[in-house]
Amino acid sequence: MRNKIIRTGSFIPETKITNFDLEKIMDTSDTWIRQRTGIESRYFSEAGATEMGYQSALKAMEGIDVESIDFLIVCTYTSDTFIPSCAHEIRAKLGIQRPIPAFDLNAACSGFVYGIHVADAMMKTGIYKRALVIGVDQNSRYLNFEDRSTSILFGDGAGAVILESSHEVGIVSSSIFSETDTSSSIVSRNTTQTNNPFLKVDSSDPNFKMEGSTVFKFAVKSFKQCVSLVMNQHDVNSDDIDFVVAHQANQRIIDTAAKMLRMPLEKFPTNLDKYGNTSAASIPIVLDELNRSGQLECGMKVILVAFGGGLSYGVSYLEW
């Protein structure tokens, strides 16, 4: 028994921010950003994660009865509220009446692959037959636009998939991992104020922080490890793999990993030039674009690989 992706959907906000727009507010340039990241634009949302995730779910669920969904996972670190969760808010907006499980999962940029892993495991119990998994992040909410090393990288967006039990193609395997971030290389703090007179809570320094060089080394290392793991576990080589859909963090990470794996760049579809790093949304957005453009065909071998804060990383191997 396997579980396969039967529908995809995505949502990109309307407000487009180009590198030239960023030139006007900070010491940077279009050339500097493109050469270091491959990013040319990104999109920011005034609506929160709930609305973006909901819109991506609507597209994924075209022709699907909402009451057929057995559980809902939202992969995000930017939920609009702690309680209720983003998943519960989206469940309500979809109008699902059944008392199905709905919960958020935070693995930062690795979130979607973590979500796929958890959904696949839950469905293998036989209790659940169909799942909705959403990756969404409103990164723009936490950026420091005085820090050009991080604020140029991120955009907002959402992507969703429907998983269904299958006797044919589907998820062959998935693995998730984490390492201790000893240097605090990726940090986004909880800045909630407290009126508790018995506690002193440091709510300073609310902005997202990242040490680029440390994260780059971790990303390339984990990228190569994950793809190599799949090839070794399933006795496949680079010629057998049709696509490696990677987290869209930086073009240099993808270029370097492809070179180390000795695989042609054509097998690494990207959209980060248009959208930047959309965190947990990046992989499902790429999947939706590939799917809707007809580039994904039945039986294709696809690897999903992600890496992010925590430090977290993971990989899923699919036969489409």
pLDDT tens digits for range 76-117: 999 999 999 999 999 999 999 999 999 999 999 999 999 999
Q: Please give the model's pTM, rounded to 2 decimal places.
A: 0.95
Handedness of CA 32, 76, 132, 218 (dihedral sign): positive
CATH no. for 1-320: 3.40.47.10
Q: What is the pLDDT of residue 64?
A: 96
Task: With a cut of 80, say whether residue 275 has pLDDT above it.
Answer: yes
Q: What is the pLDDT of residue 190?
A: 76
Show me where the domains of the chain are located: 1-320
Beta strands in the chain (DSSP E): 2-11, 15-18, 41-44, 71-75, 102-105, 130-138, 156-166, 170-178, 186-187, 209-210, 243-246, 301-308, 312-319
Give CA separation, 80 vs 53, 131, 188, in Å. Answer: 11, 22, 15
Q: How many helices (H) and strands (E) does the chain have?
A: 10, 13
Q: What is the pLDDT of residue 94?
A: 98
Q: What is the pLDDT of residue 196?
A: 78
Active site residues: 109, 247, 277
pLDDT tens digits for range 120-174: 999 999 999 999 999 999 999 989 898 888 999 999 999 999 999 988 889 999 9
From CA 20, how far away is CA 22, in angstroms rounded? 5
From CA 295, how far away is CA 293, in angstroms rounded? 6
On average, the pLDDT of the chain sits at: 94
Mean pLDDT across 16-38: 96
Residue with tokens 């900070």: 26
